[in-house]
Amino acid sequence: MDSNTINTNILGVSLSLKTDEDPAYLKKIIAYLESNIYKVQNELNVDDPLKAAILAGIFLSDEINKIEEKLYKDKDEESAKNKIIFQSIEKLNKILK
């Protein structure tokens, strides 16, 4: 995949990001980050841009962690269900033989 360069400005900091990702995808990620930073600034009345960015990073990390925990929990529950189904099939096979 070709390398792409995206120029952006977040909280007054100009960044030039080089990536193999689709530029539209990266712009979507940047917009999501910015919306979370502005949400922190507005809802928590945080004027310091660095504090707002750090808090937004903490909240986003929390969001990601909760999603990952749910995925692993769901996966573990699914594995347990599959194990029960497999054991039931084995029992049925023994009975039917």
* Domain extent listing, the chain: 4-96
Residues 35, 31: Cα–Cα separation, whole Å: 6
Q: What is the pLDDT of residues 7-25, one digit of tens each?
A: 999 999 999 999 898 989 9
Closest by Cα among 48, 16, 37, 32 to 4: 16
Q: Which two tokens stand for residue 77?
A: 């529950």
Confidence of residue 1 (pLDDT cuts 50, 70, 90): low
Q: Would you say 16 and 5 are in contact if contact means Cβ atoms under 8 Å apart? A: yes
Q: Would you say 23 and 46 are in contact if contact means Cβ atoms under 8 Å apart? A: no
Averaged confidence pLDDT in the chain: 87
Residues 68, 76: Cα–Cα separation, whole Å: 12
SS3 (DSSP) at 35: helix
Confidence of residue 97 (pLDDT cuts 50, 70, 90): low
Q: Which two tokens stand for residue 25?
A: 């995808």
**For the whole prediction, is pTM greater than 0.85?**
no
